[in-house]
Amino acid sequence: MIKFENVTATYKKNTGVFNISFEVKSGNMVFIMGPTGAGKSTILRTIYKDMLVDSGSIILDNENITDINSNIHTASIRRKTGMIFQDFKLLTNYTVFENIALPLRIEGYSKSKIIDLVNESLDKVGLPHRQLSYPLQLSGGEQQRVCIARALVNKPKIILADEPTGNLDPNISDEILDLLEICTDSGATVLMSTHNFPLIKPRNKKFIELSQGRMV
Amino acid sequence: MIFLNKFMYLFNEGTKSIYRAILPSVVSSMTIAVSLVILSVSYIFYSNFFYYTSDFKNEYKIDVFFNNKLNLNESLNIFNEILLIDGVQEGVFIDKETASQIFKKEFNEDILNIIGENPLPMGAMFGVSDNYKNYDKISEITKKIKYLKDVDDAIFPEQAIVKFDRIIRNLLSFSFIIGVFIVVLSYFFVSNTILLVIHSKTNEINTMKLLGASDIFIKIPYIINGLLLGLIGSIVSCFVLFLIYKVSLYVILPYYELNNFNYQLISFLNIIVGCLLGVVGSSKALSSFVKSN
For B232-243, write each residue's pLDDT tens digit: 999 999 999 999
Verify that B190 and B150 share a domain, yes or no: no
Give the pLDDT mean for A14-38: 92
The CATH number for B127's domain is 3.30.70.3040
For A56-113, write each residue's pLDDT tens digit: 999 998 889 998 878 888 898 999 899 999 899 999 989 999 999 999 999 999 999 9
**Of B288, B283, B267, the residue nearest B187 (C-alpha):** B283
Please tell me the distance in Å from A69's CA to the nearest CA on chain B: 13
Verify that B173 and B45 share a domain, yes or no: yes
State which of B101, B121, B156 marks the end of a domain.
B156
Among chain B residues, CA nearest to A47: B210
What is the strand order of the sheet A81-85 is part of?
Answer: A81-85, A158-162, A189-194, A29-33, A207-211, A214-215
Please tell me the distance in Å from B210's CA to the nearest CA on chain A: 7
Verify that B120 and B77 share a domain, yes or no: yes
Number of structural domains found in chain B: 2
Q: Hey, is A120 helix, strand or coil?
A: helix
Verify that B171 and B280 share a domain, yes or no: yes
For A31-57, write each residue's pLDDT tens digit: 999 998 899 999 999 999 989 999 999
Verify that B270 and B189 share a domain, yes or no: yes
What is the per-residue pLDDT for A103? Answer: 94
A vs B, Cβ pairs < 8 A, gives 58
Q: Hey, is A24 helix, strand or coil?
A: strand
Please enumerate in sequence order all residues whose Cβ is within 8 A of that of B289, keeping only pairs 6 or more positions apart, or say none. Answer: B195, B198, B199
User: ipTM of this model?
Assistant: 0.89
Q: Choose from B16, B197, B211 for mutation: most chain A CBs within 10 A.
A: B211
Please name the residue ranges forming H helices in chain B: 2-20, 22-57, 72-83, 96-107, 111-115, 135-146, 158-200, 202-210, 215-251, 263-292
Please enumerate in sequence order all residues whose Cβ is within 8 A of that of B58, keeping only pairs 6 or more positions apart, or say none. Answer: B127
pLDDT surpassing 80 at residue A118: yes
- Domain extent for B105: 60-156
State which of B99, B121, B156 marks the end of a domain.
B156
What is the per-residue pLDDT for A113? Answer: 94
Verify that B275 and B188 share a domain, yes or no: yes
What percentage of chain A has pLDDT greater than the value 70?
100
Verify that B152 and B280 share a domain, yes or no: no
What is the per-residue pLDDT for A146? Answer: 95
Give the pLDDT mean for A7-18: 89
- Low-confidence residues of chain B: pLDDT under 50: none
Domains and CATH numbers, chain A: 2-215 (3.40.50.300)
What is the per-residue pLDDT for B293? Answer: 62
Please tell me the distance in Å from B205's CA to the nearest CA on chain A: 9
Nearest by CB to B212, which of A78, A90, A109?
Answer: A78
Verify that B39 and B71 share a domain, yes or no: no
**Within 13 Å of residue B159, how many CA atoms lie on the same side as its CB?**
0
Q: Is B19 on the interface with A (CB under 8 A)?
A: no
| Alpha-carbon gap, residue B124 to B150, rounded angstroms | 13
Residues of A with CB under 8 A from a CB of B: 48, 50, 71-72, 75-81, 83, 85, 89-91, 93, 102-103, 105-111, 150
Verify that B145 and B276 share a domain, yes or no: no
Verify that B184 and B288 share a domain, yes or no: yes
What percentage of chain A has pLDDT greater than the value 90?
64
State which of B156, B190, B217 marks the end of a domain.
B156
Amino acid at B90: E
Dihedral of the alpha carbons of A147, A149, A154, A160, in degrees to the nearest 10: 50
Amino acid at A199: L
- A75 and B214 in contact by Cβ < 8 A? yes
In Å, what is the CA distance from B83 to each residue of B39, B97, B125, B144, B266? 41, 22, 11, 12, 40
What is the per-residue pLDDT for B260? Answer: 64
What is the per-residue pLDDT for B121? Answer: 87
Please tell me the distance in Å from B259's CA to the nearest CA on chain A: 51
- A108 and B210 in contact by Cβ < 8 A? no
For A177-191, write each residue's pLDDT tens digit: 988 888 888 889 999
Please enumerate in sequence order all residues whose Cβ is within 8 A of that of B125, keeping only pairs 6 or more positions apart, or say none. Answer: B61, B62, B63, B64, B91, B92, B94
Amino acid at B204: E
Verify that B143 and B241 share a domain, yes or no: no
- B212 and A103 in contact by Cβ < 8 A? yes
pLDDT surpassing 90 at residue A114: yes
Please tell me the distance in Å from A55's CA to the nearest CA on chain B: 23
- B212 and A76 in contact by Cβ < 8 A? yes
Beta strand A189-194 with A207-211 is: unpaired
Verify that B83 and B34 share a domain, yes or no: no
